[in-house]
Amino acid sequence: MVAGSLAERRILVTRPRHQAESLGRAIAARGGRPCLCPMLEIEPLAPLPSGWWQGSDWLIFVSANAVRFALAAGLPADVSSRLAAIGRATASALRNAGLPVACEAPPPYTSESLLEQPAFSQVVGRRLVIVRGRGGRSLLGRELQRRGGEVVYVELYRRRPPGMDTIAALRDRLSQGIDAVLITSGEALAHLQAAVGDDLPRLQRLPLVVASQRLARLAAQAGFTEVILAASAQDEAMLAALERYFANR
Protein backbone atom coordinates (compact mmCIF):
# COMPACT_ATOMS: atom_id res chain seq x y z
CA MET A 1 0.00 0.00 0.00
CA VAL A 2 1.30 3.44 -0.91
CA ALA A 3 1.57 5.81 2.05
CA GLY A 4 -0.50 8.97 2.07
CA SER A 5 -3.94 10.27 2.97
CA LEU A 6 -5.35 9.03 -0.37
CA ALA A 7 -3.29 5.82 -0.56
CA GLU A 8 -4.26 3.92 -3.73
CA ARG A 9 -7.64 5.69 -3.96
CA ARG A 10 -8.74 6.12 -7.57
CA ILE A 11 -10.08 9.65 -7.95
CA LEU A 12 -11.96 10.80 -11.04
CA VAL A 13 -11.11 14.44 -11.84
CA THR A 14 -13.58 16.02 -14.27
CA ARG A 15 -12.19 19.55 -14.63
CA PRO A 16 -10.98 20.89 -17.98
CA ARG A 17 -7.53 19.46 -18.61
CA HIS A 18 -5.56 22.68 -18.09
CA GLN A 19 -7.15 23.02 -14.64
CA ALA A 20 -7.05 19.32 -13.73
CA GLU A 21 -3.34 18.68 -14.00
CA SER A 22 -2.30 20.48 -10.80
CA LEU A 23 -5.09 18.73 -8.88
CA GLY A 24 -4.00 15.40 -10.34
CA ARG A 25 -0.43 16.00 -9.15
CA ALA A 26 -1.67 16.85 -5.66
CA ILE A 27 -3.72 13.65 -5.52
CA ALA A 28 -0.70 11.61 -6.63
CA ALA A 29 1.47 13.32 -3.98
CA ARG A 30 -0.95 12.01 -1.36
CA GLY A 31 -0.66 8.47 -2.67
CA GLY A 32 -3.84 8.54 -4.74
CA ARG A 33 -4.36 7.55 -8.35
CA PRO A 34 -5.83 10.48 -10.31
CA CYS A 35 -7.96 9.68 -13.34
CA LEU A 36 -8.23 12.79 -15.50
CA CYS A 37 -11.42 12.75 -17.59
CA PRO A 38 -12.39 16.32 -18.48
CA MET A 39 -16.15 16.68 -18.73
CA LEU A 40 -15.78 20.16 -20.21
CA GLU A 41 -13.54 21.46 -22.95
CA ILE A 42 -12.77 25.19 -22.90
CA GLU A 43 -12.23 27.03 -26.18
CA PRO A 44 -11.58 30.75 -26.83
CA LEU A 45 -14.08 32.77 -28.80
CA ALA A 46 -13.22 35.29 -31.51
CA PRO A 47 -10.82 38.06 -30.41
CA LEU A 48 -12.37 41.20 -28.95
CA PRO A 49 -11.68 44.75 -30.10
CA SER A 50 -8.71 46.43 -28.44
CA GLY A 51 -9.64 48.24 -25.25
CA TRP A 52 -12.80 46.19 -24.64
CA TRP A 53 -12.56 46.93 -20.90
CA GLN A 54 -12.47 50.71 -21.25
CA GLY A 55 -15.29 52.85 -19.90
CA SER A 56 -16.39 50.32 -17.28
CA ASP A 57 -16.77 51.11 -13.61
CA TRP A 58 -16.58 47.43 -12.65
CA LEU A 59 -15.23 44.31 -14.31
CA ILE A 60 -16.85 41.28 -12.69
CA PHE A 61 -15.10 37.96 -13.32
CA VAL A 62 -17.20 34.84 -12.86
CA SER A 63 -14.40 32.23 -13.10
CA ALA A 64 -10.66 31.70 -13.24
CA ASN A 65 -11.13 30.91 -16.94
CA ALA A 66 -12.65 34.36 -17.41
CA VAL A 67 -9.49 35.86 -15.90
CA ARG A 68 -7.21 33.71 -18.05
CA PHE A 69 -8.93 34.65 -21.30
CA ALA A 70 -9.24 38.32 -20.29
CA LEU A 71 -5.48 38.49 -19.84
CA ALA A 72 -5.03 36.80 -23.21
CA ALA A 73 -7.40 39.41 -24.68
CA GLY A 74 -5.15 42.25 -23.57
CA LEU A 75 -6.45 43.27 -20.13
CA PRO A 76 -3.64 45.43 -18.69
CA ALA A 77 -2.28 45.32 -15.15
CA ASP A 78 -3.05 49.04 -14.73
CA VAL A 79 -6.71 48.80 -15.71
CA SER A 80 -8.65 51.64 -14.08
CA SER A 81 -11.89 49.70 -13.54
CA ARG A 82 -12.55 48.14 -10.16
CA LEU A 83 -12.37 44.36 -10.25
CA ALA A 84 -14.71 41.86 -8.59
CA ALA A 85 -14.41 38.09 -8.39
CA ILE A 86 -16.86 35.27 -7.83
CA GLY A 87 -14.97 32.37 -6.27
CA ARG A 88 -11.67 32.09 -4.44
CA ALA A 89 -9.93 30.60 -7.48
CA THR A 90 -11.09 33.57 -9.55
CA ALA A 91 -9.77 36.05 -6.99
CA SER A 92 -6.47 34.17 -6.79
CA ALA A 93 -6.12 34.23 -10.58
CA LEU A 94 -6.52 38.02 -10.57
CA ARG A 95 -4.05 38.56 -7.74
CA ASN A 96 -1.53 36.18 -9.28
CA ALA A 97 -1.65 38.37 -12.39
CA GLY A 98 -0.92 41.46 -10.31
CA LEU A 99 -4.50 42.77 -10.49
CA PRO A 100 -6.12 44.14 -7.32
CA VAL A 101 -9.47 42.67 -6.26
CA ALA A 102 -11.79 45.40 -4.98
CA CYS A 103 -14.63 43.03 -4.10
CA GLU A 104 -14.69 39.27 -3.63
CA ALA A 105 -17.81 37.17 -3.15
CA PRO A 106 -17.72 35.68 0.36
CA PRO A 107 -18.82 32.11 1.15
CA PRO A 108 -20.56 30.36 -0.50
CA TYR A 109 -18.75 32.22 -3.35
CA THR A 110 -21.78 32.76 -5.58
CA SER A 111 -23.46 35.52 -7.57
CA GLU A 112 -25.91 35.84 -4.71
CA SER A 113 -23.21 36.44 -2.12
CA LEU A 114 -21.48 39.00 -4.37
CA LEU A 115 -24.76 40.89 -4.72
CA GLU A 116 -24.98 41.12 -0.95
CA GLN A 117 -21.78 43.19 -0.80
CA PRO A 118 -22.16 46.95 -0.13
CA ALA A 119 -20.22 47.76 -3.32
CA PHE A 120 -23.13 46.49 -5.40
CA SER A 121 -26.05 47.82 -3.37
CA GLN A 122 -26.06 51.16 -5.25
CA VAL A 123 -25.11 50.85 -8.91
CA VAL A 124 -27.34 53.44 -10.56
CA GLY A 125 -25.51 54.91 -13.54
CA ARG A 126 -22.58 52.50 -13.20
CA ARG A 127 -21.30 50.46 -16.15
CA LEU A 128 -20.75 46.88 -15.03
CA VAL A 129 -19.01 44.45 -17.37
CA ILE A 130 -19.54 40.77 -16.55
CA VAL A 131 -16.63 38.75 -17.94
CA ARG A 132 -17.61 35.14 -18.53
CA GLY A 133 -17.96 32.26 -20.96
CA ARG A 134 -20.80 31.99 -23.44
CA GLY A 135 -24.09 31.45 -21.66
CA GLY A 136 -24.14 30.85 -17.94
CA ARG A 137 -26.38 32.11 -15.18
CA SER A 138 -28.29 35.33 -15.78
CA LEU A 139 -29.14 36.16 -12.16
CA LEU A 140 -26.22 38.54 -11.57
CA GLY A 141 -26.83 40.65 -14.65
CA ARG A 142 -30.60 40.78 -14.13
CA GLU A 143 -30.27 41.94 -10.54
CA LEU A 144 -27.64 44.57 -11.30
CA GLN A 145 -29.90 45.94 -14.05
CA ARG A 146 -32.81 45.97 -11.63
CA ARG A 147 -30.68 48.05 -9.28
CA GLY A 148 -30.09 50.60 -12.03
CA GLY A 149 -26.75 49.51 -13.43
CA GLU A 150 -25.79 49.33 -17.10
CA VAL A 151 -24.80 45.69 -17.59
CA VAL A 152 -22.59 44.50 -20.45
CA TYR A 153 -21.57 40.89 -21.02
CA VAL A 154 -18.12 40.12 -22.39
CA GLU A 155 -17.97 36.47 -23.40
CA LEU A 156 -14.43 35.23 -23.96
CA TYR A 157 -14.74 31.45 -24.17
CA ARG A 158 -17.17 28.63 -24.67
CA ARG A 159 -17.61 25.26 -23.04
CA ARG A 160 -18.31 22.09 -24.99
CA PRO A 161 -18.98 18.47 -24.01
CA PRO A 162 -16.18 15.91 -23.93
CA GLY A 163 -15.19 14.11 -27.10
CA MET A 164 -15.79 10.44 -27.82
CA ASP A 165 -12.24 9.47 -26.81
CA THR A 166 -12.74 10.98 -23.36
CA ILE A 167 -16.12 9.28 -22.99
CA ALA A 168 -14.62 5.90 -23.90
CA ALA A 169 -11.80 6.42 -21.39
CA LEU A 170 -14.32 7.40 -18.71
CA ARG A 171 -16.42 4.28 -19.21
CA ASP A 172 -13.31 2.10 -19.14
CA ARG A 173 -12.09 3.64 -15.89
CA LEU A 174 -15.51 3.36 -14.29
CA SER A 175 -15.64 -0.35 -15.17
CA GLN A 176 -12.22 -0.85 -13.56
CA GLY A 177 -13.30 0.90 -10.36
CA ILE A 178 -13.37 4.46 -9.08
CA ASP A 179 -13.32 5.43 -5.38
CA ALA A 180 -14.56 9.04 -5.63
CA VAL A 181 -15.49 11.73 -8.16
CA LEU A 182 -14.71 15.46 -8.07
CA ILE A 183 -17.14 17.93 -9.68
CA THR A 184 -16.84 21.72 -9.82
CA SER A 185 -19.66 22.76 -12.19
CA GLY A 186 -23.24 21.83 -12.96
CA GLU A 187 -22.43 21.58 -16.64
CA ALA A 188 -19.68 19.03 -15.97
CA LEU A 189 -22.07 17.05 -13.78
CA ALA A 190 -24.66 16.93 -16.57
CA HIS A 191 -22.05 15.84 -19.11
CA LEU A 192 -20.72 13.19 -16.74
CA GLN A 193 -24.16 11.64 -16.28
CA ALA A 194 -24.78 11.61 -20.03
CA ALA A 195 -21.34 10.15 -20.76
CA VAL A 196 -21.60 7.06 -18.56
CA GLY A 197 -24.72 5.71 -20.26
CA ASP A 198 -25.99 2.49 -18.69
CA ASP A 199 -23.40 2.80 -15.90
CA LEU A 200 -25.27 5.74 -14.35
CA PRO A 201 -26.53 3.72 -11.32
CA ARG A 202 -22.95 2.71 -10.51
CA LEU A 203 -21.81 6.33 -10.81
CA GLN A 204 -24.62 7.55 -8.55
CA ARG A 205 -23.42 5.29 -5.73
CA LEU A 206 -19.89 6.74 -5.74
CA PRO A 207 -18.82 9.48 -3.29
CA LEU A 208 -19.18 12.78 -5.14
CA VAL A 209 -17.18 15.79 -3.91
CA VAL A 210 -18.81 19.04 -5.07
CA ALA A 211 -17.70 22.67 -4.87
CA SER A 212 -20.91 24.45 -3.78
CA GLN A 213 -24.29 24.08 -2.11
CA ARG A 214 -25.95 24.58 -5.50
CA LEU A 215 -24.00 21.63 -6.92
CA ALA A 216 -24.85 19.54 -3.86
CA ARG A 217 -28.54 20.16 -4.50
CA LEU A 218 -28.18 19.33 -8.20
CA ALA A 219 -26.34 16.11 -7.39
CA ALA A 220 -28.95 15.04 -4.84
CA GLN A 221 -31.73 15.76 -7.31
CA ALA A 222 -29.87 13.71 -9.92
CA GLY A 223 -29.86 10.66 -7.66
CA PHE A 224 -26.35 10.72 -6.17
CA THR A 225 -26.51 9.11 -2.74
CA GLU A 226 -23.23 10.27 -1.17
CA VAL A 227 -22.49 13.97 -1.78
CA ILE A 228 -19.55 15.63 0.02
CA LEU A 229 -19.45 19.43 0.10
CA ALA A 230 -16.08 21.17 -0.26
CA ALA A 231 -15.55 24.74 0.96
CA SER A 232 -14.82 25.98 -2.57
CA ALA A 233 -13.64 24.85 -6.00
CA GLN A 234 -9.98 25.49 -5.23
CA ASP A 235 -7.67 22.47 -5.29
CA GLU A 236 -6.87 22.59 -1.58
CA ALA A 237 -10.55 22.77 -0.62
CA MET A 238 -11.51 19.84 -2.85
CA LEU A 239 -8.58 17.80 -1.52
CA ALA A 240 -9.43 18.64 2.10
CA ALA A 241 -13.01 17.40 1.62
CA LEU A 242 -11.73 14.24 -0.05
CA GLU A 243 -9.23 13.55 2.74
CA ARG A 244 -11.84 14.10 5.45
CA TYR A 245 -14.17 11.68 3.75
CA PHE A 246 -11.64 8.86 3.55
CA ALA A 247 -10.27 9.57 7.04
CA ASN A 248 -13.74 8.99 8.49
CA ARG A 249 -14.38 5.73 6.70
Task: Give the pLDDT of residue 1.
Answer: 39
Task: Give the pLDDT of residue 209.
Answer: 98
Q: Do domains 10-40+163-247 and 43-159 have the same CATH topology?
A: yes
Please name which of 22, 62, 84, 42 lies closest in space to residue 236, comparing C-alpha atoms.
22
Please name which of 15, 55, 52, 60 lies closest in space to residue 34, comparing C-alpha atoms.
15
Name the β-bridge partners of 44: 157
Task: Give the pLDDT of residue 3.
Answer: 59
Element (H, E) at 10: strand 10-13
Choosing among 3.40.1280.10, 3.30.499.10, 3.40.50.10090, 3.40.50.1820, the CATH entry for 43-159 is 3.40.50.10090
Q: How do the domains of the chain map onto residue ranges?
A: 10-40+163-247, 43-159
Task: Give the pLDDT of residue 139.
Answer: 95
Task: Give the pLDDT of residue 232.
Answer: 87
Give the SS3 label for residue 227. Answer: strand
Contact by Cβ (8 Å): 136, 160: no
CB within 8 Å of 37: residues ≥ 6 apart? 12, 13, 14, 162, 166, 169, 170, 173
CA angle 146, 90, 11 (to 5 degrees): 120
What pLDDT, in 10s, does the model give residues 194-203? 999 999 999 9
Assign a CATH topology to domain 10-40+163-247. Rossmann fold (3.40.50)
Task: Give the pLDDT of residue 134.
Answer: 93
- Residues of the chain where predicted confidence (pLDDT) is lower than 50: 1
